[in-house]
């Protein structure tokens, strides 16, 4: 097949990928967009299979079968609550593939005695470095989210120096590889970058995961992009840049939603600070706990209720119970909306997916800026398993670790109901004065169980 034809097919694929992302601008067009993206990928794959340098298809087919089986089974089986770790591990595979493809391009250059120019050499080093960091960083993120390793930040003395040493070592191996053109140095580079990937992710904990996953997403795109420069292949460069841009935008949004810089997230040591504020001073004697029946009575008389979901809702799989609560309230003529904080959950948009899974119409899911002005007209706000994102200290205490972080102003509603297991602090490790506020009622217990008891109490009355 003439190369021009192949390149035109790749151009069509690239265009379809752009349409795929464009489709995501609205839930109505998103499904079609995603299918266009898949079509683009299919075209690219089919055209590539006709490449003349392919001598046998067994290995390709083997890879297809293995990959499709693993990919399809995990994609169809994964519960929506585990979506963050799913995306993390898929990112990792993308990065890993880039590292391997760059290595293979180098082997090919040696076998065919092709000269490697500066562009190819630099790009090979970049693919190896970024790809390996992505792969291992994603594996650690996966293990953390899946609870296989400690989710809280793991920190030690001199960690920044250790990271810098491994980063420098990777770059030095990269330079030697470029000069010597010796495969061994590529593998040394991959080894040090792999350790770097682990070291960079290990110290980052729970609630910072949305940033990490977005960043790894961006890296997997950049790795693909670097591979594109190795192979001089435009569709790789275009797709890689699109994904890289997407990851960077999301990373930026997540950082803004926590009022922290990216450097602070990556190197900051958040969540390890022991709270100086005395919990007793904040909570002492001011906590009012209520029974589901009492809260049901309160809800009976409400006109507008806002539900604020947090990671706790995901952990207890309470999204279906929450949907039933919404239905019961609506059947009584009460207006119900959901307030979604950008960093609620463990990845961007995590809560929206869970609520969509429970069949809650997306029109009811409101962003922070949209819903905040309405809390004053809200009779009851129900906070389910969220903590730091509703902590008024962010507005009032400039010394607090979350100072300046945009929060959901639930405290402005007439009554706040907080469903939570205990008064344990959230990821920021600080007490939450909201729990002790005059207009707050605590409903202690598991989110799912408590929501169900609320529903029962509402139905009985």
Partner 1 sequence: MDSFIAALTIFVLAIFVGFEVITKVPPILHTPLMSGSNAISGITIIGSIIAAGAKYTTLAAILGVTAVTFATINVVGGFLVTHRMLQMFQKPKTDQKEKKKS
Closest separation in Å from C-beta 216 to partner 1? 9
Minimum distance of partner 1 from residue 42's CB (angstroms): 9
Could you tell me which stretch among 165-173, 241-249, 258-266, 426-434 binds partner 1 (CB under 8 A)? 241-249
Q: Which is nearer to partner 1, 133 or 213 (CB)?
A: 213
Pick the closer one to partner 1 by CB: 111 or 280.
111
| Candidates 223-231, 279-287, 385-393, 404-412; binding stretch for partner 1 (CB under 8 A) | 223-231
CB of 293 to partner 1, least distance (A): 31
x-or-dash string of contact with partner 1, 285-324, rule CB under 8 A: ----------------------------------------
Answer yes or no whether residue 41 interacts with partner 1 by CB under 8 A: yes
Burial class (CB in 10 A: 0-12, 13-18, 19+), 441: buried
CB of 68 to partner 1, least distance (A): 5
Report the nearest approach of partner 1 to the CB of residue 132 (Å): 13
> 366: which strand partners?
339
Does position 356 interact with partner 1 (CB under 8 A)? The reply is: yes
Would you count residue 349 as binding partner 1 (CB under 8 A)? Answer: yes
Does residue 113 belong to the site contacting partner 1 (CB under 8 A)? no
234 binds partner 1 (CB under 8 A): yes
Residue 419 tokens, joined: 């469903």
- As a whole number of angstroms, the distance between CA 95 and CA 86 comes to 14
Site for partner 1 in 11-30 (CB under 8 A): 13, 17-18, 20-22, 24-28, 30
Q: What are phi and psi of 130, to 5 degrees?
A: -65, -40
Cβ–Cβ < 8 Å for 434, 276: no
224 binds partner 1 (CB under 8 A): yes
Toward partner 1, which CB reaches closer, 123 or 394? Answer: 123
User: Is there a catalytic annotation at residue 388?
Assistant: yes
Does residue 98 interact with partner 1 by CB under 8 A?
yes
Q: Is the dihedral of CA 356, 298, 385, 269 positive or negative?
A: positive
User: Which of 74/291 has CB closer to partner 1?
Assistant: 74
Task: Give the residue from 342, 350, 387, 348 showing the smallest Cα distance to 369.
Answer: 342
Q: How far is the CB of 310 from partner 1 (least distance, A)?
A: 16
| Cβ neighbours of residue 428 closer than 8 Å, sequence gap 6 or more | 207, 270, 271, 388, 391, 400, 401, 402
Token reading at 263:
């450097």
Q: Which of 200, 207, 237, 328 binds partner 1 (CB under 8 A)?
A: 237
Kindly state the helix (H) or strand (E) to which residue 233 belongs, with its residue range: none
Residue whose structure tokens are 């539900």: 307
Distance, CA of 256 to CA of 401 (rounded, Å): 14
Q: For partner 1, give the closer residue by CB, 175 or 249.
A: 249
Helices (H), 363-445: 368-371, 393-396
Instruction: Read off the DSSP letter of residue 56.
Output: -
Contact 127, 99 (CB under 8 A): yes
Alpha-carbon distance of 81 to 24, in angstroms, equals: 21
3-class DSSP assignment, residue 442: strand
Taking CB under 8 A as the criterion, the residue among 201, 217, 381, 432 binding partner 1 is: 217
Nearest CA-CA partner of 299 in 365, 419, 381, 374: 381
Show contacts with partner 1 in window 250-269 (CB under 8 A). 250, 253
Contact range with partner 1 by CB under 8 A, out of 33-41, 269-277, 278-286, 429-437: 33-41
Interaction residues for partner 1, span 408-437 (CB under 8 A) = none
Closest CA to 457 of 311, 298, 272: 298
Toward partner 1, which CB reaches closer, 15 or 452? 15
Among 1, 8, 79, 108, binds partner 1 (CB under 8 A): 108
Residue 178 engages partner 1 in binding (rule: CB under 8 A): no
Provide, for the chain, the percentages of residues in helix, strand and coil under a 3-state DSSP scheme, each rounded to the nearest 5. Answer: 65, 5, 30
Residues 268-287 that bind partner 1 (CB under 8 A): none
Q: Is 359 in the site for partner 1 (CB under 8 A)?
A: yes
- Which listed residue (1, 5, 8, 60) binds partner 1 by CB under 8 A? 60
| 8 Å CB contact between 88 and 216 | yes
Catalytic residue among 208, 388, 409, 411: 388
SS3 category, 340: strand
Of 141-149, 228-236, 260-268, 379-387: span binding partner 1 (CB under 8 A): 228-236
Among all chains, which residue has been given the structure tokens 């794959």? 45
Which residues carry out catalysis? 388
């Amino acid at each position: 097949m003439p190369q021009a034809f192949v390149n035109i097919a790749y151009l069509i694929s690239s265009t379809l990928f752009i349409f795929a992302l464009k489709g995501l601008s609205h839930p109505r067009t998103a499904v079609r967009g995603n299918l266009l993206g898949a079509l683009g990928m299919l075209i690219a794959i089919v055209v590539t299979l006709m490449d003349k340098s392919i001598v046998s298809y067994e290995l390709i087919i083997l890879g297809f079968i293995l990959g499709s089986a693993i990919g399809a089974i995990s994609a169809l089986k994964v519960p929506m609550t585990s979506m963050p770790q799913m995306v993390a591990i898929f990112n990792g595979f993308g990065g890993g593939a880039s590292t391997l493809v760059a290595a293979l391009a180098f082997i090919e250059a040696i076998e065919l005695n092709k000269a490697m120019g500066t562009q190819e050499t630099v790009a090979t080093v970049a693919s190896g470095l970024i790809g390996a960091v992505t792969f291992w960083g994603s594996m650690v993120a996966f293990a953390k989210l899946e609870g296989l390793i400690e989710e809280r930040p793991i920190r030690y003395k001199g960690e920044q120096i250790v990271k810098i040493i491994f980063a420098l070592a990777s770059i030095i191996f990269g330079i030697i590889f470029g000069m010597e053109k010796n495969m061994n140095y590529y593998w040394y580079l991959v080894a040090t970058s792999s350790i770097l990937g682990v070291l960079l992710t290990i110290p980052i904990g729970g609630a910072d995961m949305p940033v990490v996953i977005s960043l790894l997403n961006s890296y997997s795109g950049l790795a693909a992009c670097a591979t594109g420069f190795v192979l001089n292949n435009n569709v790789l460069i275009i797709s890689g840049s699109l994904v890289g841009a997407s990851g960077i935008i999301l990373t930026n949004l997540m950082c803004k939603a926590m009022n922290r810089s990216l450097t602070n997230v990556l190197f900051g040591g958040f969540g390890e600070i022991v709270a100086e504020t005395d919990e007793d001073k904040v909570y002492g004697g001011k906590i009012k706990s209520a029974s589901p029946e009492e809260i049901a009575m309160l809800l009976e008389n409400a006109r507008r209720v806002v539900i604020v979901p947090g990671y706790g809702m995901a952990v207890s799989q309470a999204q279906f119970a929450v949907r039933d609560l919404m239905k019961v309230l609506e059947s009584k003529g009460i207006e119900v909306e959901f307030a979604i904080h950008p960093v609620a959950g463990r990845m961007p948009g995590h809560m929206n997916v869970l609520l969509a899974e429970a069949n809650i119409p997306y029109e009811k899911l409101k962003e922070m800026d949209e819903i905040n002005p309405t809390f004053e007209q809200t009779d009851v706000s129900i906070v389910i398993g969220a903590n730091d994102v509703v902590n008024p200290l962010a507005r009032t205490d400039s010394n607090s670790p979350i100072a300046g972080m945009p929060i959901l102003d639930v405290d402005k509603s007439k009554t706040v109901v907080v469903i939570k297991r205990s008064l344990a602090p959230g990821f920021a490790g600080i007490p939450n004065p909201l729990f002790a506020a005059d207009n707050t009622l605590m409903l202690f217990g598991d989110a799912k169980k408590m929501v169900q008891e609320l529903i029962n109490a509402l139905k009985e009355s």
